[in-house]
Structure 1
């Protein structure tokens, strides 16, 4: 967890005292900043604990303090630290009332506590939180890698869903859900196929966010693949935006699934090349060599003698096929039926496959 005003108040070395806004101390602190400007808002980013001595402020003027505090709160300042014993022996009532009305937490900083000590405490807490997030991210990466090696994409998705306290789903190149975790997430993922289609139209890598506070969950969609066209997509659904550790886990999952997708693509291409080589050997009358090359990949090959029929549609006939039905498909069905009646086996090679 990042540092909060409450954690700073409970920091034993700082000796801070809450003077207003005690019910709003759980807000995270992004930084501690010192500014004696009458209007420091142009230099604020939001999330700061502003530290002042009221060097250039009329801290006893109620109207001036109301405007000052209202500006700070509107800029996203999460707290005001006032050093006593410098320009004022105690925090003026006008400032306390203005902070209580806004409300903006007001912390009294004793004279013996330098602002530098508060800045160091905030910086150390932020660094420790970032270190915990990075460490958790590396642990998640190791676990995801282990699951990817031992249980494949399904195991990786199960681990990822646990890491982000949500759900995860994997889509193939056509936008179909091929795996999801937990099991119920498949139905949720199926409702996002339209979003996945839109994502696939963008050059990879691409990502998008679906849903938000008004929806049942927040879903991040990420394309997978190294080419210009995505090979697959990953969906990650959570109740809220991802934290640093969860972000590490998602990025690790994207890298691992991309490797898996590209590896599957390469293996498929290799299998096609082996199949082409085996078929060439069979056509050349070398069944023994074909069996040696095929190995266990295709199981037992057909024993000779065997017959082969090759049918192809000429360019002019393809248009007629599109208009009048799948003639090659009808022929294939007839061949399979005839082979079944004679006790023979038949192999149908789809259009586009390379034979020689």
Structure 2
């Protein structure tokens, strides 16, 4: 965050010529930030141990009476080493010694102790009252606070003007990056980085860590603000939108945000969130129109869909196409639609999507093997995928996709081509079919468990042998009369006539479903 105000630091006090301060330490012997660390206050004390009465990050002034023996009580003087060690442990930023009050010059033992501890030591001449240092530091603190407030007002004004541009959201993010002097990125609801200022932004492992954290925050679905470090840089993330309906998040890397900086970021969050929420109504209208075009395609009116799509979003994907039908968890549906919108805008004519009667429908060219798996994985969606069709066969492709989705696992698309290769009985691989099969075969399983029989295995082998008794007996290694008796027993338990083909076919289907 660029600022021009005088910082309240020891270096700033040393630069005030009217104070006539002299740095007794050699700057090369001090830690790198010793003279430039912010000072909260300036305090004076001649106590041997003032640390119980001090705060962090202050400058301590003393005249050194604690280093002289007490003639009245005979108390030994405080050692410089122990004194400086206590100050360093308490977080004191520097020690000022007022000369010509108790003694001339700074005690050499104190200089050595400060040098060993890396504590800045400076001389305050007799003509400079301690209160002058306190007043000078207080003036610097007030000047800094005023400059920060002035900067915040100027930054908010610049950001507000940027928001009025045609590309308001992108311009707002860019202006925030400029005002903070940091990288700012805007992620959409799907966790995809859509704006980056400066454009190059973090790369490599840092970018991967940013993307992973943004995705995790958005998947939780609740409003949140978080801070963490990546490669030594402070990162701040703030979600956009309402809990359960997040529209994205803003990430800021490389900025240490004070109160005024956070107020500027908060104003941007409010404007960006409002802009995104205002797009919701427009999004609903687009969604309704897209749903209407899906209905037109299902009704065989591809001409209408082509004309409307060409005017608004570009041409429909060129045939042959693949039709996908997806089920997405309600909490992630908005993010999924936003992701599809972004992909459709980036590659006009390569993706069409809309709400259908059985879920989200999207269409891609038959040669596109990446979009559907990426969508399924990103949103843990159950996706069914049709075989390649032309638009005249769109309804058929939709039916195929719905059929394939019934066996799709979350995040892994299921293809109708695989179902077709497995044949009609392959469609029995579903929870509903298995539940019906369990119920149908329950009398045989219960009898086997109660009487140690093998009715299920016998019936399966009998059906595999085309209902031939002798072949079944040979396969099982039992007498043919035993096979005949077991089949008759199964027939009675199931209450069907296994001499009829439909009864045998239903029993075989149940066995296949549980295989």
Would the TM-score normalized by the shorter structure come out above 0.5? Answer: yes
- Pick one of 42, 59, 84 that aligns with 2:99: 84
CA gap 1:258/1:323 in 2 versus in 1, 3 angstroms: closer
CA gap 1:136/1:105 in 2 versus in 1, 3 angstroms: same
Q: Secondary structure at the match of 1:225?
A: strand
- Pick one of 73, 82, 86 that aligns with 2:88: 73
CA gap 1:22/1:54 in 2 versus in 1, 3 angstroms: same
- Pick one of 2, 7, 14 that aligns with 1:2: 7
1:17 aligns with 2:35: no
- Pick one of 162, 168, 177 that aligns with 2:178: 162
Q: Secondary structure at the match of 1:185?
A: coil
- Unaligned 5+ segments in structure 1 are 280-296, 300-310, 315-321, 339-356
CA distance in 2, matches of 1:298, 1:230: 26
Q: Residue in 2 aligned with 1:351?
A: none
Pairs within 5 Å for 1:21-40: 21-23=26-28, 24=30, 25-40=35-50
- CA deviations on 1:67-93 (whole Å, 9 max, x unpaired) are 111221232211111222333343222
Q: Residue in 2 aligned with 1:142?
A: 157
Q: Secondary structure at the match of 1:56?
A: helix
Q: Residue in 2 aligned with 1:204?
A: 223
The TM-score, its normalising length taken from structure 2, stands at 0.50
1:177 aligns with 2:193: yes
Q: Residue in 1 aligned with 2:247?
A: 231
CA gap 1:153/1:35 in 2 versus in 1, 3 angstroms: same
Q: CA RMSD in A?
A: 3.8
The TM-score, its normalising length taken from structure 1, stands at 0.70
- CA deviations on 1:253-312 (whole Å, 9 max, x unpaired) are 222212212222244346668x69x99xxxxxxxxxxxxxxxxx979xxxxxxxxxxx84
Q: Which has the higher contact order (CA 8 A, sep 6+)?
A: 1
CA gap 1:59/1:249 in 2 versus in 1, 3 angstroms: farther
1:111 CA displacement: 2.5
Q: Residue in 1 aligned with 2:280?
A: 265
CA distance in 1, matches of 2:81, 2:19: 27
CA distance in 1, matches of 2:160, 2:63: 53
CA distance in 2, matches of 1:77, 1:313: 68
Higher gyration radius (CA): 2
CA distance in 2, matches of 1:129, 1:256: 27
CA distance in 2, matches of 1:163, 1:324: 44
- Unaligned 5+ segments in structure 2 are 1-5, 71-75, 294-310, 314-355, 360-380, 397-515
Q: Give the number of the structure whose residues are more often helix, by fraction.
A: 2
1:212 CA displacement: 4.4
